[in-house]
Structure 1
Amino acid sequence: MSAESNSFPLCGGIVHTLVQSGTTNSQSSSLAPIIVNGKGADFKCEKTIKARIKKKIVTQKLILSLIDVAIKKKDKESVKKYWNTYYCLDKPVTDAKRLYGKYCKNRICTVCSGNRKAELINKYLPIINQWEEPHFVTLTIKSVSKNKLPLMMRNILVGLNRIIAKNKKRSQRGKGKKLMGIRSLECNFNPINKTYNPHFHLIVPDKETADILVDEWLVYSNKKGFWASKKAQDKQKIYDNEKCLVEVIKYGSKIITVPKENESHLEQIPAVIYANALHNILVSMNGLRLFERFGFNANFKPKTTHEIVLRNYEILKYNPSIGDWEDDNNNSTCNFKLPDNWNHLLEFNIDLELE
């Protein structure tokens, strides 16, 4: 007797539906065995599952606002991408030990950005720990309007790459230092001036590299009309490698903005999410490599594919009305409740107009 086989994507790999194994009243025994790729999340760890649920809730509420913005701007491509993010990890499967799900891998998704953050920390922290005097560097320019943002994003990427390439050639001729490090491209929104500030965060091995980058960035950016001021750049020795690495590898936009510049009063000012501005940042970053290493090769271990056959499992479904996954009997997974400050932010403090 031949068995029919279907397949569908799950957890970044492929889930293969195997032969049907009989039918009973229970969901787990009536479903065909499947092959899942990946290690999954620890379903028995309450902290892990609640963290996933929190990210899922935040992402869904934020994405609905971004969808409204994209529809208003008639940006069909972004609407499609945002809906894909909305349904990220919507119907995970569990064998009661691990949780496996379909991930969107979009930049705005807090679930997927958390996964990527963990992956990059595992890759780069051991390397940074070997550097004798790592420094944290910020390279920035004068803020620009929304119309100039897409071009400026590309211009500053070209600029930094040219500085790195120029010093590489100098070092090959024995006349300079080869620059190395990791960098991320980010952008913040200023709701007072309605301007955008694209900038780089970098981690480099020593103070000399930090000094060269800042000096040459000032020369290049002012020559090209980016108008970078010396006092806006930053370089400082790192005392907590992991904390600094997390700052650098976070995804490239700050979605929560305090609408005042006086930092001494931050705790008294309500946070606001500027969805329209966030959409502009995300669109400007399309096609750009936000995170990258330069000047060194890393001997990373090749990614191994973990394939597991699940025979007894449940398909959960996310219920946005309660902010939790439920089984077929409407039993929730962990009864997580989003903190009141987050609820208030996502319900009342999302601005759809300012950009």
Structure 2
Amino acid sequence: MNLAIWNPDSELKKSYDNTCHCNSVKHYNGEKMTSTYCKNRWCYTCNRIRSAININQYAEQINDFGQPFFVTLTRPTCSIEELQNQIDEMEKAWRALYNLSKDKRKEPFKNGIFLKGIRTMECTIRPGGQYHYHMHMIVEGWANAEWIVSEWLKRNPQSSVNAQDIRPANAGALSELFKYAIKMTVDLSKSDNFKRLDALFCILKGKRTIATFGGIKAVKEPKDEDFQVQGQFEEELYLRLGNEESIWSWENDAFDWVNKATGEMLIGEQLEPEILRMCQKKVRE
């Protein structure tokens, strides 16, 4: 694994080494075969499974959203030296606007603003040594979504109005919400970019990337047994987002839920062929 090769002195070196052996050790207890997963952020296999677990476990609560909107909140890109402070300031801004919405003495609450949803955090690695940390969320109600963006811009005047986004939430938004926390837009054939990845993973170590608010029940982080693929996911997954209803069937060959009416895959992220074969092999065992 290149992260281990190019970062021999990293504080995460042991974890990188564990990923090299992810799903390679099998355990048989006399009844069933299980495997050992690394569950690290940079692991394609574990991220894929984690996305499926989150979609599966949050689906029932998401179905209660009558008018769901997908909101993206951003600030300008920054250097790795500035990233920790960027994360802290963004979290502080979010807490301030959320706490304001809950204050019964303030105008937002009196005007009917009530924030309910699921929020995830993502970081995109950009060329030129830049990092783009941002938030995605599915929130109930157009007025609430608009208020969030308005308050966000007040607290982050350096942010561009055009860089924030509100759109009706659909199955694609659900996939976007629960996809990988790290997105690469640089050339992974260059060793320097693996050093950039290591610097980012060190900053994000121990940080949660999913948060709920407004009464949405948080799902616990997946345990070891949750990563045993067989039997973990519903054969059919019913989703209702506003007026859009869809039924998705789990396909072992795709390691994804597939909308049979459209052929669309719910998780939608392509797995490398070898990793997909590993997942499919695990399901068959």
- TM-score by shorter chain over 0.5: yes
CA distance in 2, matches of 1:189, 1:111: 20
Residue aligning to 2:88: 154
Residue aligning to 1:69: 6
Tell which structure's C-alpha radius of gyration is larger: 1
Q: Does 1:253 align with 2:186?
A: no
Structure 1 position 81, deviation (Å): 1.4
> Which residue among 181, 196, 218 is the counterpart of 2:131?
196
Residue aligning to 1:230: 161
> Which residue among 138, 141, 148 is the counterpart of 1:206?
141
The 1:97/1:258 distance shift into structure 2, 3 A limit, reads farther
Q: Which deviates further from its counterpart, 182-191 or 278-287?
A: 278-287
CA distance in 1, matches of 2:206, 2:27: 32
Output the amino acid matched with 2:89.
N
CA distance in 2, matches of 1:304, 1:151: 31
Structure 1 position 253, deviation (Å): 0.5
Structure 1 position 69, deviation (Å): 3.2
TM score, norm. by length of structure 2: 0.69
What SS does the aligned partner of 1:215 have? Answer: helix
Percent same amino acid at aligned positions? 29
Structure 1 position 95, deviation (Å): 8.1
Output the amino acid matched with 1:136.
F
Residue aligning to 1:51: none
Q: Which runs of 5+ in 2 are unaligned?
A: 226-271, 277-285
CA distance in 2, matches of 1:304, 1:154: 28
Question: Residues 228-271 of structure 1, C-alpha deviation per residue, up to 9 Å, x if partnerless?
Answer: 11011110112x33x3212111231013x267xxxxxxxxxx99
The 1:157/1:300 distance shift into structure 2, 3 A limit, reads closer
TM score, norm. by length of structure 1: 0.56
What SS does the aligned partner of 2:102 have? Answer: helix
Structure 1 position 98, deviation (Å): 5.3
Q: Do 2:100 and 2:106's aligned partners in 1 also have CA atoms closer than 8 Å?
A: no
Q: Do 1:153 and 1:284's aligned partners in 2 also have CA atoms closer than 8 Å?
A: no
**Which residues in structure 2 correspond to 1:1-355 (within 5 Å)?**
64-71=1-8, 74-75=9-10, 77-93=11-27, 99-170=33-104, 174-176=109-111, 177-191=113-127, 193-222=128-157, 227-238=158-169, 240-241=170-171, 243-255=172-184, 257=185, 274-298=193-217
Question: Residues 65-112 of structure 1, C-alpha deviation per residue, up to 9 Å, x if partnerless?
Answer: 1113322xx32x210111122222221135899541112221112222
CA distance in 1, matches of 2:189, 2:168: 30
The 1:132/1:161 distance shift into structure 2, 3 A limit, reads same
Residue aligning to 1:345: none
CA distance in 2, matches of 1:171, 1:282: 41
Residue aligning to 1:16: none
> How many residues end up aligned between the 2 structures?
225
CA distance in 2, matches of 1:158, 1:180: 18
The 1:272/1:69 distance shift into structure 2, 3 A limit, reads closer
Q: Do 2:73 and 2:134's aligned partners in 1 also have CA atoms closer than 8 Å?
A: yes
CA distance in 2, matches of 1:305, 1:157: 29
CA distance in 2, matches of 1:160, 1:299: 18
Q: Which runs of 5+ in 1 are unaligned?
A: 1-63, 260-269, 307-337, 343-355
Q: Do 2:75 and 2:159's aligned partners in 1 also have CA atoms closer than 8 Å?
A: yes
CA distance in 2, matches of 1:108, 1:197: 17
Residue aligning to 1:317: none
What SS does the aligned partner of 1:147 have? Answer: helix
The 1:304/1:287 distance shift into structure 2, 3 A limit, reads closer
CA distance in 1, matches of 2:4, 2:218: 40
What SS does the aligned partner of 1:228 have? Answer: coil
